[in-house]
């Protein structure tokens, strides 16, 4: 999503400080961190400190230690933010990792393609006294393009009593403990977002957020609403029922697995913690003590660093290694093939895979327990039929006891450059858990146009009993989401239809005007979804209309709860919310709500 710019003037809140020349000594070893600018024949060298026994995490990771001076840490944070604040489609990727301990007077302003995370087993192991925040100063307070960043596994005590995370898609606030209040906008428009496995001691204020998913959260209070606020397994979820206020509450999260994460143990050894599956849960996984799961030593991982080829990565997978993908942009001339049960693919700093020559970027075999997390699949210039496939065609194994899960996995077609992909994500395996995905055909940036960044469908689900939390799919040229499998469940769906159909004739599904944003196949007898929004903004031709946002078979076992359609600024029309029911959303009635179907 990228709505029009809010033109109010703002002043920059954060001064950029120089990197301190003096570095901490003692048990730390001085290393040189090289930050290569993608597509340019230059490199910028900066200095940082990491533990002497740390694994080599490549040139784009900074590891901070409590013994480092505040000036050194703050200088590096400011340097990264200055580079990344407006770098919406650049090739730089960054991870800022903090070892357990206390850090005083730290101000971490998080820009594009930047992940900040603690390296403790619990968020409370790493205390930041100061701020870990996302602002929209670069866009005059409009946060609708604050994408591709994340904050994870930290405890933050804000100096002023509150912090800000003004974001939209692909910017999770995950496994955090904020000891104060949290503001989710920056005074202008905003269109996020996700809180997951997070505790906020004070109040959360959603401000202008159009929609939001809070899953397995706990807070002192919630304030705010707009079109679609969904609370799943959220302790202290606010009272009220859709559409006034537009709150959807599901008391327990039926089945989930939290995102794997990198940490250091008490002996300073690096490991990856892989959380176990939770059933019928509420609140965070960590507040009551150590969560269920297993720790994998770093030696079990192939650390993918800039320069690694697809052949190198596949060889490591074939040898039984997991993948820790460090920040960078990786071009693939062959498909990455994940075939071993329980393989972990964990990306840091929005690690990005670009398939070349029309290949599929990644396939996951129909096996138990694969976890893919923290990666962006960016379509190449030659059309890929599919960017990622989970389970081969005809997959039919039962994975209920140990499902494959996708965490903060994003897809992009166009924006950074011309991209083409017929389908972005195809899920053939059963029991898969989707834990926050943004599947996006770009509506702005480079290589954008109806005949340029071509892409039919964002998500196709063929497997049975697939569950999606925080499913964002936008701007595809046919159906955004097609669900063919039985027993599917979606908790929160956010969609924008394509902005750019040149005329109605170019966007017809047979005799039907446009394509549904979410289509459940006629053959499906059981499917359920909660908290769904679909918006139109046909800015190339305002006369374009969609017959309906949601298209489902009329069966008792297919049930939809709390749906909204919006004509943004009255630019275009969605005639009905679901099938022939509800609506319209148009220039006269921008917003249409429907509580249930059938």
Q: How far apart are CA 485 and CA 462, in angstroms?
A: 4
Q: How far apart are CA 406 and CA 337, in angstroms?
A: 16
Helices (H), 8-155: 70-84
Q: Which residues, in sequence order, are CB contacts of 469 under 8 Å at separation 6+?
A: 213, 215, 232, 253, 256, 433, 434, 435, 436, 491, 492
C-beta separation of 160 from 182 below 8 A:
no
Q: Is 135 a catalytic residue?
A: no
Please, is 288 exposed, middle or buried when counting C-beta atoms within 10 Å of its C-beta (0-12, 13-18, 19+)? Answer: exposed
Please, is 265 exposed, middle or buried when counting C-beta atoms within 10 Å of its C-beta (0-12, 13-18, 19+)? Answer: middle
Q: How far apart are CA 303 and CA 283, in angstroms?
A: 33
The CA distances from residue 559 to 177, 215, 529, 546, in Å, are 35, 21, 7, 21
C-beta separation of 398 from 431 below 8 A:
yes
CA 285 to mean position of chain CA atoms: 19
Length of the chain: 598
Beta bridge partners of 371: 344, 405
Full DSSP string of 249-273? EESSEEEEEPPPEEEE-TTS-EEEE
CA 66 to mean position of chain CA atoms: 29
Count of H helices and E strands in the chain?
2, 45
- Strands (DSSP E) along 224-327, which ranges? 228-232, 247-250, 253-257, 261-264, 270-275, 277-281, 293-297, 301-304, 322-325
CA dihedral angle for residue 347, residue 353, residue 359, residue 364, rounded to 10 degrees: 10
Q: Which of 135, 496, 547, 551 is catalytic?
A: 496
Q: Report which of 283, 290, 344 is spatially closest to residue 120, judged by C-alpha positions.
A: 290
Q: How far apart are CA 363 and CA 353, in angstroms?
A: 13
312 phi, psi to nearest 5 deg:
-60, -45
Q: Which residues, in sequence order, are CB contacts of 546 under 8 Å at separation 6+?
A: 497, 513, 514, 515, 516, 517, 536, 572, 573, 574, 575
Please, is 503 exposed, middle or buried when counting C-beta atoms within 10 Å of its C-beta (0-12, 13-18, 19+)? Answer: exposed
Q: How far apart are CA 386 and CA 457, in angstroms?
A: 10
Q: Report which of 190, 106, 187, 189 is spatially closest to residue 151, judged by C-alpha positions.
A: 106
Q: Report which of 450, 419, 459 is spatially closest to residue 539, judged by C-alpha positions.
A: 450
Catalytic center residues: 496
């Amino acid at each position: 999503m990228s709505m029009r710019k809010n033109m109010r003037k703002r002043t920059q809140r954060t001064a950029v400080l120089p990197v301190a020349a003096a570095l901490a000594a003692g048990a730390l070893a001085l290393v040189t961190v090289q930050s290569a600018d993608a597509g340019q024949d230059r490199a910028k060298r900066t200095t940082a400190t990491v533990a002497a026994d740390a694994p080599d995490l490549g040139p784009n990771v900074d590891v901070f230690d409590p013994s480092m001076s505040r000036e050194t840490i703050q200088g590096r944070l400011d340097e990264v933010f200055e580079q990344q604040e407006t770098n919406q489609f650049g090739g730089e990727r960054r991870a800022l990792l903090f070892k357990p301990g206390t850090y005083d007077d730290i101000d971490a302003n998080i820009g594009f393609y930047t992940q900040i995370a603690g390296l403790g087993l619990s968020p409370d192991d790493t205390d930041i006294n100061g701020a870990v925040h996302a602002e929209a100063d670069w866009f005059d307070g409009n946060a609708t393009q604050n994408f591709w960043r994340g904050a994870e596994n930290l405890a933050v005590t804000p100096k002023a009593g509150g912090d800000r995370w003004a974001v939209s898609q692909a910017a999770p606030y995950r496994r955090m403990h904020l000891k104060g209040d949290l503001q989710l906008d920056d005074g202008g428009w905003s269109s996020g977002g996700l809180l997951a496995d997070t505790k906020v001691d004070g109040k959360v204020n959603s401000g202008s957020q159009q929609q939001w998913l809070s899953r397995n959260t706990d807070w002192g209070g919630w304030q705010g609403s707009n079109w679609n606020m969904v609370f799943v397994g959220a302790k202290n979820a606010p009272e009220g029922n859709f559409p006034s206020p537009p709150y959807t509450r599901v008391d327990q999260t039926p089945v989930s697995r939290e995102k794997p994460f990198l940490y250091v143990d008490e002996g300073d050894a690096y490991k990856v913690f892989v959380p176990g599956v939770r059933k019928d849960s509420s609140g965070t996984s960590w507040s009551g003590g150590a969560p269920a799961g297993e720790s994998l030593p770093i030696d079990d991982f192939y650390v993918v660093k800039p320069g690694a080829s697809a052949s190198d990565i596949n060889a490591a997978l074939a040898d039984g290694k997991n993948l820790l993908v460090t920040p960078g942009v990786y071009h693939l001339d062959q498909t990455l093939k994940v075939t071993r049960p329980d393989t972990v693919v964990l990306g840091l700093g929005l690690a990005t895979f670009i398939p070349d020559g029309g290949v599929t970027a990644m396939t996951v075999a129909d096996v138990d327990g694969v976890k893919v997390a923290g990666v962006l699949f960016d379509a190449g210039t030659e059309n890929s039929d599919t960017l990622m496939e989970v389970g081969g065609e005809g997959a039919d194994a039962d994975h209920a006891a140990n499902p494959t899960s996708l965490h903060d996995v994003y897809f992009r077609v166009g924006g950074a450059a011309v991209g083409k992909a017929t389908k972005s994500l195809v899920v053939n395996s059963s029991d898969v858990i989707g834990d926050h995905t943004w599947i996006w055909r770009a509506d702005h940036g480079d290589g954008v146009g109806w005949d340029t960044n071509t892409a039919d469908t964002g998500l196709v689900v063929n497997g049975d009993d697939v569950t999606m939390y925080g499913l964002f799919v936008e701007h595809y040229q046919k159906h955004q989401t097609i669900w063919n499998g039985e027993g599917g469940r979606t908790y929160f769906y956010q969609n924008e239809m394509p902005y750019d159909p040149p005329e109605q004739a170019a966007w017809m599904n047979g005799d039907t005007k446009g394509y549904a944003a979410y289509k459940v196949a006629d053959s499906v007898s059981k499917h359920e979804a909660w908290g769904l929004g679909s918006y139109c903004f046909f800015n190339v031709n305002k006369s374009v209309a969609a017959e309906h946002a949601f298209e489902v078979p009329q069966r008792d076992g297919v049930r939809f709860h709390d749906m909204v359609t919006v004509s943004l600024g009255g630019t275009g029309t969605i005639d009905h919310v679901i099938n022939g029911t509800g609506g319209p959303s148009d220039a006269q009635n921008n917003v249409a709500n429907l509580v249930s179907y059938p």
